[in-house]
Chain A
Amino acid sequence: MASNSDNSSVGMPQLDFSTFPNQIFWLVVFCVVLFAIVKFFIIPRMEDIFANRRKIIDGNIAKAEEIRLRVSEIEKHIEEELQKAKSQCDEIMNASGNNIKEQMALALEDSKIATTQLISEAEGRLKELRDGSEAAIEKISEELASVIISKISRGK
């Protein structure tokens, strides 16, 4: 190391102006080469990687959005179906209620007819019985009268 003392072991090599043209020459050469590398290799590559990533992320976001839309559609569909089923159920309940009411009315009608029939039948029989008993009373009273008459006439 000390062999360089002829050059400069005292002072700063940075201030040795005789080296400046050489330094600047190589600096310019490497700057130009590096700039070309940056411009034609590094930047396109980085932007490509970034754009790809962006694309995939955007694609995923779009897909997620699509799925979200489909989910809300399915939800709406389910809601609709539910509403439909509910109204159908209401309809069925109403219909069966009406049916029951009708059936009951019919049954009531039937039983009313049956009772009136029974009542009129019973009334007819009662009338018959009454008629029969009147005739019997008449017959008995006739017989009784003839007995009484014969008793009286005998007693004389």
Chain B
Amino acid sequence: MEKQSAFNIYPMDQFIIDPILTGDSLEWYSFTNQALWMLISLVSISFVFIYGSRKHQLVPGRLQSIAELLYFFIRDMIIDIAGQEGLRYFPYIFTLFILILFGNVLGLLPYSFTYTSHIAVTGFLALSVFVAVTIIGFVKNGLGFLSLFWISSAPLALRPILLIIEVISYFVRPVSHSIRLAGNMMAGHAVIKVFAGFAGALGLGAIAPIFAITAVYGLEMLVVVIQAYVFTILTCVYLNDALHPGH
């Protein structure tokens, strides 16, 4: 903190990708802080789901309860939204969900790195969902998948207009899907960082910023889980469109 003034706040610095093993140069294979936190979330997931339920308890303990809760929450969600045939894609959707959920939650730890705040990550995930759903749609329904854009329940005169709207909204999906998640994560963390900067600048009299940090942190706890849920439920909705395009 030996800078020009005490009031220098860099809320976006927490998102800088930093190679942590190979010095300063960032190659495509360099192990970065982002990769480290992906590894940490992988280890956490294994801890909760594999170590936590290693005893196969009939009446689950604490960790096993968490694992079962998450598992059957996603399972039931897929069945509710995409029907029984959606269950075939459960491993993929569940992988997505826990990757995002653990990334979001671990990102709330001080000094951690939130990999889901990066457009590259969420964009890649959303694009893979988009590509996968489109392929599934055409494989399952052939050209009938295109009936997704031709709303047969609307009056005939409106259908060409709706066609344009539906096509645009279909291709906008990966954009909104990814920016929603990354934007929420980035904004929350940046706000916390800004208030933390105020607190640092005010020193001992920093009751108001600390209170604000606490409040925003509480809100973020909520947002973090909800965004993981939203990302997953939208994936299920898109999958349902691919499986049953006729609505």
Binding site for B on A (CB under 8 A): 1-2, 4, 7-9, 11-16, 18-31, 33-35, 37-39, 41-43, 45-46, 48-50, 52-53, 56
Q: Does B108 belong to the interface (CB within 8 Å)?
A: no
Write the chain B residue with the least CB distance to A37.
B46
**Alpha-carbon distance A32/B112, docked complex (angstroms):** 23
> Is A27 touching B121 in the complex (CB atoms < 8 A)?
yes
A33 to B118 Cα, complex, angstroms: 20
CA distance A121 to B60 in the complex (A): 106
Chain A residue numbers with a CB within 8 Å of B8 are 2
For residue A139, give the distance in angstroms from its CB to the closest CB of chain B: 127
CB–CB B13/A35 < 8 A: no
A26 contacts B38, C-beta separation under 8 Å: yes
Cα distance A124–B125 in the bound complex, in angstroms = 137
Contact B68 A22 (CB under 8 A): no
Q: Shortest CB–CB separation between residue B169 and chain A, in angstroms?
A: 24
Of B28-36, B160-168, B227-235, which binds chain A? B28-36
Contact A19 B13 (CB under 8 A): no
Q: Give Cα A10–Cα B120 distance, bound, in whole angstroms.
A: 19
Across-interface contacts of B18 in A (CB, < 8 A) = 4
User: Which A-chain residue is minimally distant from B15 (CB atoms)?
Assistant: A13
A16, A22, A24: residue with the most chain B Cβ atoms closer than 10 Å: A22
Taking a contact as CB atoms under 8 Å apart, the answer to whether B26 and A22 are in contact is: yes
Asked if residues A8 and B68 are in contact (CB atoms below 8 Å), the reply is no
Q: Is the CB of B91 within 8 A of A39?
A: yes
- The interface bits of chain B over 87-121 (1 if a CB of A lies within 8 angstroms of the residue's CB, else 0) are 00011101100110000000000000001011111
Q: A4-B16, A8-B12 are in contact. List 6 more A-B contacts (CB 8 A).
A: A8-B16, A26-B34, A26-B38, A39-B91, A41-B46, A46-B67
- Establish whether residues B71 and A2, one from each chain, have CB atoms under 8 Å apart when the complex forms: no
Q: Which of B27, B58, B124 makes the CB contact (< 8 A) with A27?
A: B124
Q: Let me know if B42 and A34 touch, CB within 8 A.
A: yes
Q: Is the CB of A14 within 8 A of B119?
A: yes
A34/B95 in contact, CB under 8 A: yes
Taking CB atoms, residues of chain B closer than 8 Å to A56 are 58
Residues of chain B within 8 A (CB-CB) of A46 are 49, 53, 67-68, 71-72
Report yes or no: B27 in contact with A22, Cβ–Cβ below 8 A: yes
**Count of chain B residues with a beta carbon within 8 Å of a chain A beta carbon:** 52
Contact A25 B28 (CB under 8 A): yes
B10 contacts partner chain A, Cβ-Cβ < 8 Å: yes
Contact B49–A4 (Cβ < 8 Å): no
Chain B residues near A14: list those with CB within 8 A.
Answer: 15, 117-120, 182, 186
Cross-chain contact B42 with A33 (CB below 8 angstroms): yes
Enumerate chain A residues within 8 angstroms of B62, measured Cβ to Cβ.
none
**Could you say which residues of chain A place their CB within 8 Å of the CB of B10?**
1-2, 4, 9
Tell me if B71 and A42 are in contact (CB < 8 A).
yes
Contact assessment for A38 and B94 in the assembled complex, using a CB-CB cutoff below 8 Å:
yes
Cross-chain contact of A31 among B34, B46, B99, B120 (Cβ < 8 A):
B99
Which residues on the B side are within 8 Å of A49 (C-beta)?
Answer: 53, 56-57, 60, 64, 68
Q: Find chain A residues with CB under 8 A from B115 CB.
A: 23, 27
Measured between beta carbons, the chain A residues less than 8 angstroms from B31 are: 26
Q: Which residues of B contact A23 (CB under 8 A)?
A: 17, 32, 34, 115, 118, 120-121, 124
Of A19, A35, A45, which contacts B56 at CB under 8 A? A45
Docked Cα-Cα span, A48 to B53, in Å, equals 11
Q: Which residues on the B side are within 8 Å of A42 (C-beta)?
A: 49-50, 67, 71, 94
A14-B120, A23-B121, A35-B92 given; A48·B56 CB < 8 A: yes
Q: Tell me which residues across on chain B come within 8 A of A20, comparing CB atoms.
A: 120
